[in-house]
Amino acid sequence: MILKNLIGTAAFVALMFIVSAFVYKNKAKENHQNSSFKNNGFAVLELFTSEGCSSCPPADQLMGEIEKQYKDQPVYVLAYHVDYWNSLGWKDKFSSVENSKRQQQYSQILRSQVYTPQLIVNGKKEFVGSDRDAVESAIQTALFNSSNAKVDLSAKVSEKEINVNFKTVENNSQNKLLVTLVEKKASTNVQKGENEGRHLIHWQIVHQQNQISLKNSTEGTTSFKLPENFNINDWEIIGMIQNVKTGEILGSAKASF
């Protein structure tokens, strides 16, 4: 009977230890997230990708998971489809020369190579976009060590265009406000090239990005042509303030329609 009681007591203690560890872990995670908000931190993830790149789908998938995981936190994902892989047999319908130019600008500022999938966080750190550990680490570092410069955005939809009102107090002549029209999710059946036969899913696709100088005005309106079959639930506006000399992103926000 004594042995039975000892076994029962040991099992109870072990159970309580497991429960305590679980509560502590979740409490630590909660405190971790709350401290991020208190510090007013943020993370902007810019992925340079292509449907013509066989190593890009894992990075695209990871961005979708990150978007879902951090949906209630100031983490902003933008996927730029570059056009320099279009010559390999498949033209990426989401690609543009502007997206490729943006990556080349980062290459000069960060002294990095031009490759896909490349991820750049807050305009300061770059690495392979499918490296989950590096992505998670960079997000947490950004949330704890950045201070989000305030920018207010609001968007209105008319029959032909989307008008975005912006306002900020940042008036440094080296800073620009980048307002981006983003499609949250889309897919493609690739018929040629390195990803031939694959059904690719993309998240946070950059369709157009307007650059606004903050030298003379810190508030105003910018507009986008309304995409075909537009639905406000499938699109969003992301704005970010960037120092054009250093590449550092100083603040970011989403616009509500």
Ranges of each domain in the chain: 39-255
CATH (one of 2.170.190.11, 3.90.950.10, 2.60.40.10, 3.50.50.60) for 39-255: 2.60.40.10
For the beta sheet containing 161-168, the strands, ordered from the edge strand earlier in sequence to the opposite edge, are 151-157, 161-168, 219-225
- Report d(CA 115, CA 84) in Å as an integer: 10
- Report d(CA 191, CA 128) in Å as an integer: 26
Rg, the chain, Cα only = 22
- Report d(CA 2, CA 74) in Å as an integer: 56
CA angle 167, 182, 192 (to 5 degrees): 155
Q: List the chain pLDDT tens, one digit each, 257 residues.
A: 443 443 444 444 344 444 344 433 444 444 444 443 446 899 999 999 999 999 999 999 999 999 999 999 999 999 999 999 999 999 999 999 999 999 999 999 999 999 999 999 999 999 999 999 999 999 999 999 988 999 999 999 998 999 999 999 888 889 999 999 999 999 999 999 999 999 999 999 999 999 999 988 899 999 999 999 999 999 999 999 999 999 999 999 999 77
- Report d(CA 39, CA 71) in Å as an integer: 18
Cβ neighbours, 10 Å, residue 83:
18
**pLDDT tens per residue, range 12-21:** 434 444 434 4
Per-residue tokens: 28 = 């630590």
- For residue 9, CA distances in Å to 4, 21, 179 come to 9, 18, 62
**pLDDT tens per residue, range 26-76:** 444 444 444 434 468 999 999 999 999 999 999 999 999 999 999 999 999
Strand partners, 243: 175
Give Cα 98 distance to the centre of its chain.
18
